[in-house]
Structure 1
């Protein structure tokens, strides 16, 4: 199957989305759709947006962040401060049938990007706008995370300062929500003929997650704040353990079977049984395992410290226990350290300006649909293709718009 055939075979083939975005949430939403076959046209200012050179970067200064979040898209560069540039975007949204007329953006406070303006162009326009909070104000993952409460329960017991997690969880989740919102709106439009104006706020995503996990109701109903417990599993038994040769493993025993296997593999069954009898408790219950987690962890740590990592992993593999060795990112991409290279989602990607590297396709698996990663576009690489094919511009018009600085380079 050729690359073109593979792309048309994907479930969202034929769908066109215009993306005006920067940073994480909206670009990730667009890439999610692109990896499922949609034609996603990312529109940037000439020279690139504010995330064009964001870290991490190669030694030559190429942003791995930007290329990672824009795989499989097309790139159009336009002076969006000019009226002719804005008119091109309006025409892009106006053109096409029921599989187009879709805008994904995190731009806020710009009247020319308002829903009513686009609805005047086409009644069935779909606009998905990523915002900071429900009032439409700006926010980023780090500020939302601070406001919702997660940094106060992150980190080891005894820490008095808030600790941010390094994963931009709300950006990532918001990006997936935005892709879901677009596919939902498209399905509804096919049924009803109606467009949609959809707003998704980072803070709402964080609040919804905190509420759905019971964190907010726990604080409200029990009138208590969740404690910091480091790497312990809240409400059950799970923790990191150090091996004889200094590696760390995360061990989780959620079920009675997990617990029985942990006792068996560590040889602590008799000791733990005696402890149960002396305390009058039952460690097959999650509540009791959590209440005495420090005592239990101390017993198991003796076994982990007496074994090499290789010996421990060999002992754990036949069990039902949930476990993993802590690895750094450089270990994750080391073929000798993990089986990441065998994962069919991963492939070697040739990205312009960046050395060939391992990159993921879509984590969503459809039968017989390839998931090979496609490179991110060079900035403005599709200017000529989009403006001639979709807009019908001729060479004279292209040259005039480029000379006036309305569009980026069209020579490619």
Structure 2
């Protein structure tokens, strides 16, 4: 497992979510991902949330399993070192992942002149190269006007387009790297965040629904469109989500709650077929009216006991604290998690990637590097830089070693 992508080195010059997450995905599969930042860090180095000493938990969470190099990228010497790392000869190298402006020294044209088989994965906001972030793309997607219960748009907190873009970037890189192995040719691969949104909206049928039916899906709150599903309040002030997308799951609800006969009466009364998803969606309000009192009489724990092994499709609503403290899946019992000593933070439970490769399993979880932690080692190892030359560059402010946190100072 340690060698799954162990023969690949990727240089990452990035900030924020999509590109760092794409690089981390490759790193957690075994690639040697080296993130290059300006000395002092890029614009995301202090992004919230923060640990008590000011260390960015956001940055640490998006850069696990990578190596970190800090260079004065605003100087010719720093740019030349970065170029040398990106274009270093040898198998497995010649790979760049970035979401920063790819112009000047970092353009594909300039870099590929030094390494013709370069693979450059480049994320932009729009296909024309314009700026965009998840929120500015999401507002145009239609989803905020389909979320909630009223006419006002509701932005979701999850940066879904950034996450999807990260996975496209990592998948796209693997496709380009496979093509290079077959042909010997590199290429520049671009991905626009707005295209990630458009592709997803189209893939889920929303574009076709407008074209075929001239339909715009209305906001339905927590109801599941086209089937039965919605939230219910419990006796102890919690809420659960209940859904049925198969007849087996539908029958399980009636059996587990003891309400099968009463629910069955709804079909004839409303002249709908409750054995179809569409029929259950049409009768969703009547079904909910029968189920609501049952949930209101039972606590979350009692519901868990009633639904255990029943085939009911359900889950509790929980905040992040409840997820971390109460959910057994978000714990060391899940092999995706493990404890590491995170620089500037201390002992922290962190995850590796969620893919489980059978007998090989997963690479163990690894924390994020300290900014500049590997500058000397990387420059020495990949570029063969003598220690005396590194010391000179360090004293000249061209390179920087690990940045100490206030906790360690």
| Post-superposition offset of 1:340 | 2.2
For residue 394 of structure 2, what is the aligned residue in structure 1? 402
Question: 1:292–1:153: structure 2 CA closer, same or farther, 3 Å change rule?
Answer: same
| Post-superposition offset of 1:298 | 1.2
Give, in whole Å, the separation in 1 of the partners of 2:402 and 2:248: 63
| Post-superposition offset of 1:37 | 0.5
For residue 362 of structure 2, what is the aligned residue in structure 1? 370
Give, in whole Å, the separation in 2 of the partners of 1:328 and 1:154: 19
SS of aligned partner of 2:265? helix
Per-residue displacement from partner, 1:229-263 (whole Å, max 9, x unpaired)? 01110110011111111111111111011111111
Give, in whole Å, the separation in 1 of the partners of 2:11 and 2:188: 15
For residue 332 of structure 1, what is the aligned residue in structure 2? 323
Give, in whole Å, the separation in 2 of the partners of 1:184 and 1:193: 13
TM-score (structure 1 length as normaliser): 0.94
Q: Which blocks of at least 5 consecutive residues in structure 2 are unaligned?
A: 405-409
For residue 407 of structure 2, what is the aligned residue in structure 1? none
SS of aligned partner of 1:224? coil
Give, in whole Å, the separation in 1 of the partners of 2:300 and 2:87: 60
Per-residue displacement from partner, 1:373-409 (whole Å, max 9, x unpaired)? 1111101011110111111111231122222221113
For residue 305 of structure 1, what is the aligned residue in structure 2? 296
For residue 140 of structure 1, what is the aligned residue in structure 2? 133
Query: Is 1:290 equivalent to 2:316 in the alignment?
Result: no
SS of aligned partner of 1:197? strand
| Post-superposition offset of 1:77 | 0.5
- Asked if structure 2 preserves the Cα contact closer than 8 Å seen for 1:263 and 1:269, the reply is yes
| Post-superposition offset of 1:81 | 1.3
For residue 262 of structure 2, what is the aligned residue in structure 1? 271
Give, in whole Å, the separation in 2 of the partners of 1:34 and 1:99: 14
Query: Is 1:100 equivalent to 2:80 in the alignment?
Result: no
Give, in whole Å, the separation in 2 of the partners of 1:103 and 1:337: 38
Give, in whole Å, the separation in 2 of the partners of 1:263 and 1:110: 62
| Post-superposition offset of 1:212 | 0.0
| Post-superposition offset of 1:411 | 10
- Asked if structure 2 preserves the Cα contact closer than 8 Å seen for 1:240 and 1:250, the reply is yes
- Asked if structure 2 preserves the Cα contact closer than 8 Å seen for 1:398 and 1:410, the reply is no
- Asked if structure 2 preserves the Cα contact closer than 8 Å seen for 1:219 and 1:226, the reply is no
| Post-superposition offset of 1:410 | 7.4
For residue 164 of structure 1, what is the aligned residue in structure 2? 155
Query: Is 1:238 equivalent to 2:229 in the alignment?
Result: yes
For residue 252 of structure 2, what is the aligned residue in structure 1? 261
How many residues were matched structurally? 402
The residue correspondences of 1:10-409 to structure 2 (distance < 5 A) are 10-108=3-101, 110-155=103-148, 157=149, 159-334=150-325, 336-341=326-331, 342-367=333-358, 368-409=360-401
Q: Which blocks of at least 5 consecutive residues in structure 1 are unaligned?
A: 1-5
- Asked if structure 2 preserves the Cα contact closer than 8 Å seen for 1:402 and 1:410, the reply is no
For residue 3 of structure 1, what is the aligned residue in structure 2? none
SS of aligned partner of 1:147? coil
Per-residue displacement from partner, 1:301-355 (whole Å, max 9, x unpaired)? 1111112222211111121121111111111111x44342211001112101103
Question: 1:211–1:380: structure 2 CA closer, same or farther, 3 Å change rule?
Answer: same
- Asked if structure 1 preserves the Cα contact closer than 8 Å seen for 2:45 and 2:56, the reply is yes
SS of aligned partner of 2:140? helix
Q: Which moved more, 1:93-102 or 1:179-188?
A: 93-102
| Post-superposition offset of 1:24 | 0.2
SS of aligned partner of 2:248? helix
| Post-superposition offset of 1:96 | 3.1
Question: 1:139–1:125: structure 2 CA closer, same or farther, 3 Å change rule?
Answer: same
